[in-house]
Amino acid sequence: GAGVSQSPSNKVTEKGKDVELRCDPISGHTALYWYRQSLGQGLEFLIYFQGNSAPDKSGLPSDRFSAERTGGSVSTLTIQRTQQEDSAVYLCASSRLGTYYNEQFFGPGTRLTVL
């Protein structure tokens, strides 16, 4: 079956512009996660959705970052007024439920480059 998909695969933007990154989770997965993978910091948790609500936004680095999920499915991560330090690979994952024993399946990521 289809895995987690993300779009775009690559995004180049200018400093100060807004960007939207999209994640399509595996059908039927109620839990969705965003992570950021950068050279200096490794893989960092950003936000967790259970259904359409986000009980844990603790990893969002600043108020320029926001995310939403609609219909218990697609999620969009928005970064406003992008900065060069936002350059990274943004990974989305989904799982059947939001518990440890439910394997998180990862998408291929969106590589964001801020010039």
Partner 1 sequence: AQSVTQLDSQVPVFEEAPVELRCNYSSSVSVYLFWYVQYPNQGLQLLLKYLSGSTLVKGINGFEAEFNKSQTSFHLRKPSVHISDTAEYFCAVSDTGSGGSNYKLTFGKGTLLTVNP
Residues that bind partner 1 (CB under 8 A): 3-4, 31, 33, 35, 42-45, 48, 55-56, 91, 93, 95, 98-109
The residue (of 20 and 44) whose beta carbon lies closer to partner 1 is: 44
Instruction: Judge contact between 32 and 80, C-beta under 8 A.
Output: no
Q: How far is the CB of 100 from partner 1 (least distance, A)?
A: 4
Query: What tokens appear for 102 in the block?
Result: 């439910």
Q: Minimum CB separation from partner 1 for residue 15, in Å?
A: 26
The DSSP secondary structure of 41-75, one letter per residue, reads TEEEEEEEEETTEEEE-TT--STTEEEEE-TTS-E
Compute the least distance from the CB of residue 1 to partner 1, in Å: 15
